[in-house]
Structure 1
């Protein structure tokens, strides 16, 4: 009789089988789903960690790259020479001590029709410090645009222009005391050249010979007859007190020579004569001769 309770029709048997399968699936899902979810969560955390590590490594590499670029730029020697900001290329601006991005901005300004009409306009360059501008000012030459001779502007300029006064042959002036106003009275010397001479004199601490004008690429042979240099007026640097920064700022001393001077003082005491420096490879006889006019002990 008990078999009657466990007797099922075919449809009932199929239903029971389906029910059992459903229960097994649900139970299996409940068992495996939390584990899978935990695994996914763990994988997600690992991925986030890897992403953070990768981002940090990129940031480190960027800093290293930026530092290398900065060091490369800092070690690039600055070569001051006459230049026209309306014609100089980006590499030329970098050689003058400008950052590459500053040179790029100047080139973009010019490509859009911008123009520097006078040397003082150059100080408007974004990022250029007042010290940099003063250093470059003596070397800035701005070529005036040609004016059509048939234009009313040319007629007005010709009518209103006053011929500048120039000294007669035989006049000579001291390179160490003259100013830009007097320099422009020398035939062949305009405002740009006058600023170059005065600016270089300030960097040197005075001229000891007219031939030094060749340092800034001026025609010494044409100018020699108009100038003389009173060497007693040169300013001297005390080699036993000056810092590396002060020494390397002089046109006749570079960083490595300045470093040798300071290290020699630290190791052997005060410098008493230039022969002590001639023992170093950083100093040639020509270097010793030039700086002899600008140093003291």
Structure 2
């Protein structure tokens, strides 16, 4: 028995020494997982893969993108919130998971503030409102008039909170009646819009740009306050729908309790990546506007502000929590 006890104590000592050595190893000492709460091919996925590749080059370790779509970004957020806060599991979050979901769901299983460590805001991704060619509208004004004349006859796709809140805000402000149809992913929603199964969709430029500029769809408005150079001639929705104000942002988080030194290292490396012209040019191809936070603390304040802003948007749109 004494021999077994001595062996066990020795094993514990070796384990402790191993853990201590790992803790003292300069970060990062292993591959990093970057969780994306949307499907491959989505705008957020494209941004994550671009940044992940560049970040890997600077850190000297692979950055592996892990797509965990489902439940309007809740599945990915829950996974990261429960991960070890060692800097090896990161989250490519958006306003869906960290601004809108708290007001959309009454029983959210994560807290966007308490359960995460803000690392860096990276920018914003414009969305555009498109319709199937079967809809007899060549402008947003004509779409609103058509919807008023045919209440409940049109349907729109909603694979994320931006699409949902954008359309529900438009409906509330203009008084039109269009049916929302939930989708699991942006590519699936886009496929059904092109196929005519739904007639309206507010889609991110990252996953929808090729179709938005084709003759398979008609693009009527962008969610940004200024027109997009990628969609010449397409006006901002706010010019037609007075009071419409919606920004879709992207940022990187880790689980709550990350070491400050790791957070500062990641923030600094992301700042350097986002400052590269090659990165900016590649992201610009999907309409993504680089807009980094100056510090992790500044990003934390922005997240809190957007949480309150989106709560107001959702309440104004008349959306009740599920």
Instruction: With the length of structure 2 as denominator, give the TM-score of the two structures.
Output: 0.28
Larger C-alpha radius of gyration, 1 or 2?
Answer: 1
Higher helix share: 1
